[in-house]
Amino acid sequence: MAKGDAKSTIQHFVKEGRRQTTVFQIIKRYKDTGKAEYAPFLGHQISKQMLKTQKKIETHFSKCPMSDIKVKKLGIRAQTQKKAPKYVKDQERRTKTGLRNIYKKTLRKTLVIDDETYVVLEPKGQP
């Protein structure tokens, strides 16, 4: 307060756009208790689960969603590489030799197999 004058303090906050009754109640509470904050509510304490959900909501709103929006607008899709299953027990011994060698060479690489054959189309050769 401005040197113990409540009226000038109320007028100052009213000029800033606060309600007069709200400012008056805060000053009255400060004079009575010595604190401007409300007294804590009586009853059981807030559960830990409630605090966890509050934190989740807080992190959700604190993150900037602009990058997600841009990715969706541009139609970008992220794909993760999936590892091929490893051999089990005696599977490696039972495989054909050629396939076993290819598997060993491409163990750490991505292998794309294209079984289509590309032939130049000649109109004379077609029935």
Task: Give a yes or no: residue 107 inside a domain.
Answer: no
In this prediction, residue 124 carries a pLDDT of 66
Q: Is residue 4 part of a domain?
A: yes
Domain that holds residue 28: 1-39
Residue 56 forms part of a structural domain? no
* Residue burial 55-82, b: 16+ Cβ < 10 Å; e: rest: eeeeeeeeeeeeeeeeeeeeeeeeeeee
The pLDDT of residue 107: 67
Q: Per the domain annotation, does 105 fall within a domain?
A: no
Count of CA atoms in the C-beta half-sphere (13 A) of 20: 5
Q: What is the pLDDT of residue 115?
A: 63
Instruction: Look over the chain and give the mean of its residue pLDDT values, rounded to a whole number.
Output: 74
Residue 85, domain member (yes or no):
no
Q: Is residue 90 part of a domain?
A: no
Name the more confident of 121 and 95. 95
pLDDT tens-digit series, residues 35-83: 878 777 777 777 777 788 778 777 766 666 666 667 667 777 777 777 7
For residue 30, being part of any structural domain is answered with yes
Tally of domains within the chain: 1
123: in domain: no
